[in-house]
Amino acid sequence: MVKSGTAKKNGLDTTIQTLGAAKIPSPLNHARFVEQDERLELNLTEEESDVDGAHGLPLQFEKAGPSGKLYFDSSKVKCAIVTCGGLCPGINDVIRAIVMDAYHHYHVASVIGIRYGLQGFIPKYGHDIIELTPKNVSNFHVFGGTELGSSRGPQAADEIVDALERMNVSVLFMIGGDGTMKAAARIVQEIKARNARIGVIGIPKTIDNDINFVSRSFGFDTAVEKATEAIACAHVEATGAYNGIGMVKVMGRESGFIAAQATLALKEVNFVLVPENCFALEGPDGLLEQLEQRLRSRRHAVIVVAEGAGQHLCEVSGRSDASGNPVLCDICALLISRIKEHFKARDLETTIKFIDPSYIIRSVPANANDRVYCGFLGQNAVHAAMAGKTGMVVSRLQSRFVYVPLELVTMKRKKLNTESDYWRAVLESTGQETLGVLPAAAKS
């Protein structure tokens, strides 16, 4: 452990912003307090961050946990919670953990829930707020999704800060993915420009596990567990037909972590397609030829496809969704069509069964491991807020909870390293070849 006022290394600054000096004694009893600026020195792996300079050399991160001195008089604090973006197992668990810790341990004056994402701050949408208490959040964890509702799309930071000031909010907890964390950074900038004293704490949420400086995002474990159930069904369908092909589509817009992890968890997968690997369809090393070889030798095959895989094979629409993400082509529809054409030309009978469990996966309640994880995230978010931290997210790195500046987690999205030991293990599990990865010129 290291104690330091600032931590800048490899060109990356891990220093956490504060609203001011923490001088008020904590109301927590029997707590082991984290000393001010106490840091953990960690060597990050490629699976934890692919930001330049972030792995190979140690970085210092501020240790998460309760502080002996607080910035806020917690009994006078009003908190707000907002959930943004797509659904993910565990959101309600995080909300519940924040409310329970804020009330029972810090005795805050109030916690409110903002309805339907950042729209809830903007008067023209007319969304009501919800008073969140230990009583009305007690069963939140039983349900999937978010009890506060969510939405996509940007909202003006100045209007959001206007609303925070009108409601006399001291701390805003933002639960969301890459776009939400970028919005949080803009809100922090607006607060600083007004010289206001409002803390903004992020809890990174992405079912795709594509946020940098987060070892595993909450909900990912549940998503993998549910994905393996669908893959098992696809395997049954494939083995039940002559030359049967089971295809499963899983979430993963830009990163194939769910597809890769589910493949490792269930050894029945024969081909896994991820966005990071611009595979070839045709040719001796292409998917179609390898699939044909597989069927001729074993008479069945299972293919797992991340939703963002194979976009280099599609016609680019140029359109974006409300969050600014490119609208993806339906890669599975394309694959099914090309597979049918390929085997028809060879006069080979095949049966394809396609399963898309995406909305089931993201809508279910969190499993036991994710619930524990969400509890720690919510608690540490409250500890950070009461100590006056701002412009940061709570993260778990190498089983340790730390605080990470928003600027770092939003630098770029984390992706699978297809030259890593992890990806090698995935390929060994499937037995597939490299599928004739296309040269850079052919990817565009």
Residue 46: pLDDT over 90? no
Share of the chain above pLDDT 90, in %: 82
For 133, the token pair is: 């208490």
Where in the sequence numbering do the catalytic residues fall? Answer: 208
Residue 155: pLDDT over 80? yes
Alpha helices in 52-177, H assignment, sequence order? 91-104, 134-137, 157-166
Residues 113 and 195 in one domain: yes
* pLDDT at res. 184: 98
Q: How far apart are CA 370 and CA 96, in angstroms?
A: 13
- Structurally, the chain folds into a number of domains equal to 2
Residue 317: pLDDT over 70? no
Residues 374 and 269 in one domain: no
Q: For position 300, which CATH number holds? A: 3.40.50.460
Q: What is the pLDDT of residues 55-108, one digit of tens each?
A: 777 899 999 999 999 999 999 999 999 999 999 999 999 999 999 999 999 999
Residues 358 and 370 in one domain: no
Residues 424 and 386 in one domain: no
Residue type, 154: P
Helix (H, G, I), strand (E, B) or coil at 81: strand
pLDDT band, residue 315 (cuts 50/70/90): confident
Whole-angstrom distance between the N-terminal and C-terminal Cα of the chain? Answer: 46
Residues 78 and 134 in one domain: yes
Ranking 147-156, 174-183, 320-329 by mean pLDDT, the lowest is 320-329
- Enumerate long-range contacts of 290-295, CB under 8 Å, 24 or more apart: 290/432, 290/433, 290/435, 291/245, 291/339, 291/342, 292/342, 292/343, 292/346, 292/348, 294/270, 295/243, 295/245, 295/348, 295/350
* pLDDT at res. 218: 96
Please tell me which residue, 304 or 47, carries the higher pLDDT value.
Answer: 304
Q: What is the pLDDT of residues 128-141, one digit of tens each?
A: 999 999 999 999 99
Q: For position 124, which CATH number holds? A: 3.40.50.450
For 253, the token pair is: 């817009």
For 351, the token pair is: 């049966």
Q: What is the DSSP letter of 313?
A: G
Q: How far apart are CA 422 and CA 424, in angstroms?
A: 5
Share of the chain above pLDDT 70, in %: 93
Q: How far apart are CA 58 and CA 195, in angstroms?
A: 34
Residue span of the structural domain in which 112 resides: 2-217+366-409
Residues 39 and 166 in one domain: yes
Q: What is the DSSP letter of 330?
A: -
Residues 379 and 288 in one domain: no
Residues 309 and 395 in one domain: no
Q: How far apart are CA 310 and CA 303, in angstroms?
A: 13
Residue 190: pLDDT over 90? yes
**DSSP run (H or E) holding 193:** helix 178-193
Q: What is the DSSP letter of 322?
A: T
Residues 151 and 112 in one domain: yes
Residues 351 and 376 in one domain: no
Residue 2: pLDDT over 60? no
Residues 141 and 242 in one domain: no
For 321, what's the count of Cα atoms within 13 Å in the CB-facing half-sphere?
12
Residues 226 and 353 in one domain: yes
For 189, the token pair is: 């900038």
Strand-pair category, 2-3 with 38-42? antiparallel
